[in-house]
Structure 1
Amino acid sequence: MIRLALRLTLSGGREAATRLLVIATAVALGVGMLLATLAGMNAVDAQNQRYGWLNTAAVPASPDPSADRLWWMIREDFHRGRSIGRVEVGSSGPDAPVPPGIPRLPAPGEFYVSPALADLLRATPAAELGDRFPGREVGTIGQAALPSPDSLLIVIGRTPADLERLGAQRVSQIMTTSPSDCRSGCYVGINRDGMVLVLSVVAAALLFPVLVFIGTATRLAAARREQRFAAMRLLGATPRQITVISAVESTVAAAAGTLAGFGVFLAVRPGLAVIPFTGERFFTADLSLTLADVLLVAVGIPLGAVVASWLALRRVQISPLGVSRRVTPKPPRAWRLVPLVVGVAELTYFVGRRPPTTNGQLTAYLSGFLLILVGLLLAGPWLTMVSARLLAARAGRPATLIAARRLSDNPRAGFRSVSGLIVALFVTSVATGTITTYIANRGEPPTDSVAATSLSKWFRPEDGPPPTAAQIPAALATVPGVRSVTLVHRNPDPHGWQGVITCAELDRLQVYGSCPPGARVASVTDDLVGMRAFDLTNDTYVWEAADLDLADIDRQPILSVVVDTTDRAAFERARTMLVDAFPTGRFPASTAEWASSSARAFTQFQQLANVVTLASLPIAGCSLAMSVAGGLSDRRRPFSLLRLTGVRLRTLRRVVALETVAPLLLVAAVAIAMGFLAAHLFLRAQLGYPLLAPGPSYYLLVAGGLLASLGIVASTLPLLGRVTGPESARNE
């Protein structure tokens, strides 16, 4: 039977070859996406392993007093919005541990840099960047210590006395603490569990349209296949033999598709490496597969195809005459709405009850999103049936009545052809609504706002005595492009903002807000922008008055020095001067730079959502076209008989179009509405924000996808005239 099955599969004519090619193509896409997701998870692990050494200070030093120690200090610097990891080390003995990626510890006055930072140093004037790093470059940091090809890292050698004065720690070994395992004190890295959860959702969102595509491909000419298998049953073939033939057909297609899927993955792997899923792109070698991954996909996909083929042919196994005895399937029941309602109820429950931990929040919200998505898929046939019945009750034309009755009789088939669009539209609506609202409330300020053009150096009590006015570099005010240098003093009133400044100074600056009428001293944030970055525009923001005499302001410790600039070159020159003048504590930065990490992360999630949409829509469109074409092939005899009885071809085309367009528009409306509802509930629960309307790009993307889908439906309608001629009614 296996030989017969292979002959039927490989030599069954154009129809069999087309079906084999389509199924193999669908499987190849699914396998390629699955492998890309598995490789992405492995890449996150690999990247975190190389982040680990930067978290050395998060682990206590060895209690052995005889061990040579390493003075260790790591801080974050910035250049034009990009983060620079600055590691300063010093040795207390010849056997002090050496960080990975460098052959030895740099001596005082030496430093090693990552290749990306070396290129940046060569392309940037020294006054804007290079002068911050004492000494000379003696080498580059190897790949073993670089999380990403774009990582900006520098390892600077200093004397133990300098490092002790700067507040460095003593460590006995270079640790490899993964950020996923670090509970506190980690410098950089990501939580693997959270990223894997996000990638898993992305994988599911990408794989579902592919699974629909595969299912649609296996149903291509399903009626003709079932008739062929039923004829074999009438000739004496046993159900087991039919199962073997079907399994061989599915296994051949799945095996070919699986092999091609590995080729698809290898072809797209270099392109995947440049996508910054974690904030930085991967090395291509990081996107690797384990032996378990390869075996899981290579064995699991063909095995799944065999099971799917057995389920698809269960009617033929029951009775060889069952194919010709068609009955109306049982209508879907209202219980299908239960997961959808439960998912909405779960997200609603957490409004005002936000889980206290990150993992708890991820579990609560993502499980709610998945429940809603599964609920949409389950409720789709029921919603299609209800809408079809309403359409039939109000039908004014024969085409509308026929299409509505067919959808009402078999809503699962009508919904199945457009179900691939649900994931793309739901995921895009959730991501766009959430990210648009977040960035509008807490995202990175515009590059021309005072929050982005003002640089502040904050002097914390733990960094030592605050500086005096004489210690502030006088050359700051002479840098071309610097508009003002302002000192913010500490506010002695514990009930006001942390800083104070004279109203005369605020009036002179005209960019940091203003005082209330009659006030002489204002209570301000530590850097004049801070928490008010999104309210403060020129002089429209009014600060609170401070109960402090003018004569007492200069007696208060300096809290921060704030430099307002007109361009990025002046900004970086001022930063370099402040770094050199005050090397302790946090390095100076703008509010925009401190906010950029979260805004950048959400922008990356938006990119993932766009990837889901752009990948899902073409696949869903292919499924839609195949479903319509397959339906025409399976129904060409009934349509031919209708044409012989006088029904116009134009009417039949309207029937086919309505059968597809009605569930398509219904799916789009419900998926978009539920996506925005889920986003609104998440924002209220997690951040307390109401949902804001997305920008025009979202509507253009959705409209373009729907118009493309309608175009695909229209492109299949000319087939109707060719497959429903009189010869179809005569020969069938």
Structure 2
Amino acid sequence: MSGGRRWAGDLAMGARFAFTGGREGWIRAVLTAVGVGLGVALLLLTAAVPDILDARHAKDDVRRDFSITPAKIPAADDTIVVAHVNTSWYGADIRARLVAPDGPHAPVPVGIDRVPAVGEMYVSPALDKLLKAPGNGLLRERLPAKVVGTIGERGLIGPTELAYYMGAKGLDRQIGHNPEVGRIKQFGNDAPGQSSEGLDPILLLLVLLVFVVLLAPVGIFIATAVRFGGERRDQRLAALRLVGCDGRMVRRIAAGEALAGSVLGLVLGTGFFLVGSQAAATIELFDVSVYPDYLNPTPVLAVLVALAVPTAAVLVTLFALRRVVIEPLGVVRTARPTRRRLWWRLLLPVGGLAMLVPMIGQGGDNGDFNQYLVIGGVLALLVGITALLPWVVERTVARLGDGAVSWQLAVRRLQLSSGTAARMVNGVAVAVAGAIALQMLFAGVQSDYTKDTGQDPNRAQMEVDLPVGVQVAAAGARLERAKGVKSVAALSQTEYGDKRLDPDNTIQVVVGDCAALREVANLPSCREGDAFLSADWSDEPAARKLLTPGRAVVVDPSYTDDTPGAEAAWTVPAKLPKVATRKDSLNTGLSGILVTPSALPAKALPNLRGSVYLRLDPAVPDAEEQVRTVAMGIAPLAYAWTWTATTQDEKYGAIRTGLFVGAAAVLALIGASLLVSQLEQLRERKRLLSALIAFGTRRRTLTLSVLWQAAIPIALGLLLATAVGLTLGGVLMKMTAVPLRVDWASVLAMTGVGAAIVLAVTLLSLPALLRLMRPDGLRTE
């Protein structure tokens, strides 16, 4: 018989034993399949990530209108005016658009069947549900328009997205004054004002690391799952030696058994993935949701998973049996094994460091990082944990001393099977090490992608920006009456120039009553009608001329060729005392003239761009929502937003959100796989536990011994993971040229998460343990 046919025959025989070898055989096959299936489901989800991102981007492109600065398009029969009025509801973002068609052939927003009339709106299903929910009267007050339909799937990037289109009028008067209002001819990615930028080298490095760190534990769990029930399987293989099989043949049969379990795992994993994809529409993680049809694994990656998992099952099984002697009368595994060697176990982490070290100091300005060296180096370091951990556990438990009976039972068990104990925590250790390294890198580069906004949340917690034409003083008075508002400061802004159309030189003008002006500058005294000059004004000859007392200037000059609007003639006041700008000014861009309202001509007041700064009462939990509702009542285009000291780059934030979503999925896999592994370990020890109970061992003692058996390896695994994670994180920070700093809070948090997972799995397995601790477990056929 040729070698290929011999291999095929032995593998087929092992596959038959997996399902026809009695209860032990199929239980092991099912356990293996469940463990492998969980990993396969996550791998298929990962293979679908490119399609998920493409689908979300495509949806966003199709419905897009204009960017921050809309292009100038004349009104026509086929144009529509769109206003961005995004808001939020208790932290959940709401994508909001006001629309006003210019003619009967105006483009219709994607996802709805017609342009809503004034007083009508189309809402997403999630927002419709939110509006109808009891206790959300404040939201219904904010959006009083009549709901005439829902936005279809084509117009939403996810099933839980909150969005609406509302009909409005008079939007065209805001074009040119408000950058959030523009006129377009079509919805879609050809709409004017769109641009896209690629990721810089550091962000690309973060994307690579996220995928490597999230997938490494998955591969390790699959490798662990194919070894479920190894001891019982080897005992069955000894019977095959008794009937004439040689050592190589029984190894191939064992590989066939693992192959059958892995193939069944592929089937179960596909089923888990399909069931999960159908449930995806009801799940939202970190404000991200997807439609089921987004989850289409890339064919090449799906085929790779289908081929890699069974191949890995065979290779892992053959590797595991390399030091096991299967004889006709038993398995020589319980004899004292040879001590594990350390030198070759260090090759993986040392090799990983060798691949990463050449890129130290490269930062974000010296070209892209070598993707292959990054992937290879990080994988080598993480997988090196699985090689080092058995050695660490073996050497440690060999030195553990006497203690309580439960401690002695646990230590003796670990001394006899330290490799099995290490395998159980390998995935957790790898996941924790990768998470620590990523947290260090994210914390290190965060400052590069975080900008200071210049806002001081201690001075004001919210700001409401008002559209042109709204009386700022009246709006401030209404907002001050809102529930949860302690005080307000209403300021307006405009400018004056040397001519009414396209002026050569301009100076900023800030308008407010005396109390409001004192929020931006240190005024010696102030009465209605006064004017002041900021000490920070630009001392240039052209600006100096514009400050000449008695000079005739134009307030709110026009910068377009349109017919002049509300430009007002003004004479520069004869008295302009200089005042120092407050360091904690509410208006950080102040540099010009400060005036009280009566100091300007009445014609200039209606066109001021106003903002109201609000201080909130922290004792009122819904103060922000109250302000947003009142602001919407003042003007649909009023934009209420919360002050923050810093703002974060959107791409960096998206990558970090992707990490959190992926980590949540990997943690779920870790918990489920560990639970399956723990139940398999308990099943193999059923007779031993029953014997101990029959001899009078207390259940409490056995329960504590199981807890110790889980606690000792996980403690060692987490210590090793912390060391490797800190090393990898330090190298990555040096690669990106950021100062080396350890975020110990994140390190402890990641370590605590790993420990909590193992503790939770152990507690969940206690009911099964209690059922196994019965003397009748000694009965056999």
TM-score class normalised by the smaller sequence: 0.5 to 0.7
Q: 1:539 is matched with which residue?
A: none
Taking structure 2 as the reference length, the TM-score comes to: 0.63
Q: 2:480 is matched with which residue?
A: 477
Deviations 1:653-693 (A, max 9, x none): 99999998654432122224544666688789669875152
Q: 3-state DSSP class of the match of 1:102?
A: coil
Partners of 1:311 and 1:363 lie apart in 2 by: 26
Deviations 1:87-134 (A, max 9, x none): 344555655443321123345665433233344455699995567779
1:211 aligns with 2:211: no
Tell me how far 1:151 sits from its aligned partner: 1.7
Q: 2:565 is matched with which residue?
A: none
Q: 2:288 is matched with which residue?
A: 280
Q: 1:666 is matched with which residue?
A: 716
Deviations 1:622-660 (A, max 9, x none): 435646876999x99xx99xxxxxxxxxx9999999998
**Which of 9, 22, 33 is the matching residue for 1:24?**
33
Residues 155 and 356 (structure 1 numbering): CA distance in 2 closer, same or farther, change over 3 Å? farther
Residues 183 and 607 (structure 1 numbering): CA distance in 2 closer, same or farther, change over 3 Å? closer
Q: 3-state DSSP class of the match of 2:95?
A: strand
**Which of 103, 114, 124 is the matching residue for 2:113?**
103
Tell me how far 1:488 sits from its aligned partner: 5.6
Matches within 5 A, 1:400-419: 415-419=422-426
Deviations 1:56-108 (A, max 9, x none): 43599899999955544445333433322223445556554433211233456
**Which of 267, 271, 278 is the matching residue for 1:259?**
267
Residues 328 and 558 (structure 1 numbering): CA distance in 2 closer, same or farther, change over 3 Å? same
Tell me how far 1:53 sits from its aligned partner: 2.5
1:455 aligns with 2:462: yes
Q: 3-state DSSP class of the match of 1:250?
A: helix
Which amino acid in the other structure matches residue 174 of structure 1? F
Which amino acid in the other structure matches residue 224 of structure 2? V
**Which of 630, 641, 645 is the matching residue for 1:589?**
641
Q: 1:57 is matched with which residue?
A: 66
Taking structure 1 as the reference length, the TM-score comes to: 0.66
Partners of 2:748 and 2:324 lie apart in 1 by: 51
Q: 1:543 is matched with which residue?
A: none
Deviations 1:370-406 (A, max 9, x none): 55422322332444465467x38x9999999999999
1:691 aligns with 2:756: no
More strand by share: 2
Matches within 5 A, 1:595-674: 605=659, 609=663, 612-617=666-671, 619-620=673-674, 622-623=676-677, 626=680, 663-674=713-724
Deviations 1:28-49 (A, max 9, x none): 3333333344455544433332
Unmatched tracts of structure 2, length 5 or more: 1-8, 451-455, 494-506, 510-517, 526-577, 601-607, 693-700
Q: 1:446 is matched with which residue?
A: none
Aligned residues: 661
Tell me how far 1:145 sits from its aligned partner: 0.6
Matches within 5 A, 1:187-206: 198=210, 201-206=213-218
Matches within 5 A, 1:516-527: 523-524=582-583, 527=586
Partners of 2:645 and 2:385 lie apart in 1 by: 40
1:78 aligns with 2:88: yes
Q: 1:46 is matched with which residue?
A: 55
Partners of 2:388 and 2:640 lie apart in 1 by: 54
Check whether the contact 2:241–2:326 (CA below 8 A) recurs between aligned residues. Answer: no
Partners of 1:22 and 1:591 lie apart in 2 by: 53
Residues 387 and 142 (structure 1 numbering): CA distance in 2 closer, same or farther, change over 3 Å? same
Q: 3-state DSSP class of the match of 1:456?
A: strand
1:249 aligns with 2:257: yes
Check whether the contact 1:97–1:174 (CA below 8 A) recurs between aligned residues. Answer: yes
Unmatched tracts of structure 1, length 5 or more: 444-448, 506-518, 532-545, 641-650
Residues 368 and 501 (structure 1 numbering): CA distance in 2 closer, same or farther, change over 3 Å? farther
Deviations 1:292-341 (A, max 9, x none): 66655555544543454455556899999998699955843435335546
Q: 1:563 is matched with which residue?
A: 614
Which amino acid in the other structure matches residue 155 of structure 2? A
Q: 3-state DSSP class of the match of 2:745?
A: coil
Matches within 5 A, 1:43-442: 43-57=52-66, 68-91=78-101, 95-107=105-117, 110-121=120-131, 137-157=147-167, 158=169, 161-162=172-173, 164-165=175-176, 166-167=178-179, 168-176=181-189, 183=196, 198=210, 201-217=213-229, 219-231=230-242, 235=244, 245-246=253-254, 248-277=256-285, 279-289=287-297, 297=305, 300-312=308-320, 331-334=340-343, 336-337=345-346, 339-340=348-349, 354-355=363-364, 370=379, 372-384=381-393, 387=396, 391=399, 415-426=422-433
Tell me how far 1:456 sits from its aligned partner: 0.6
More helix by share: 1
Q: 3-state DSSP class of the match of 1:589?
A: strand
Check whether the contact 1:431–1:605 (CA below 8 A) recurs between aligned residues. Answer: no
Partners of 1:259 and 1:590 lie apart in 2 by: 49
Deviations 1:189-209 (A, max 9, x none): xx9997797466434434533
Partners of 1:504 and 1:64 lie apart in 2 by: 49
Residues 87 and 184 (structure 1 numbering): CA distance in 2 closer, same or farther, change over 3 Å? farther
1:486 aligns with 2:539: no
Please provide the CA RMSD for this pair. 6.5
Check whether the contact 2:429–2:754 (CA below 8 A) recurs between aligned residues. Answer: no
Check whether the contact 1:109–1:135 (CA below 8 A) recurs between aligned residues. Answer: yes
Partners of 1:344 and 1:399 lie apart in 2 by: 41
Which amino acid in the other structure matches residue 668 of structure 1? L
Tell me how far 1:6 sits from its aligned partner: 6.0
Check whether the contact 1:484–1:565 (CA below 8 A) recurs between aligned residues. Answer: yes
Report sequence identity in percent.
23
Partners of 1:8 and 1:153 lie apart in 2 by: 56
Tell me how far 1:153 sits from its aligned partner: 1.9
Deviations 1:217-253 (A, max 9, x none): 4x23354245345445xx37795x6576445433433
Which amino acid in the other structure matches residue 520 of structure 2? V
Residues 667 and 554 (structure 1 numbering): CA distance in 2 closer, same or farther, change over 3 Å? farther
Deviations 1:483-505 (A, max 9, x none): 21114688989xxxx98244899
Tell me how far 1:55 sits from its aligned partner: 3.5
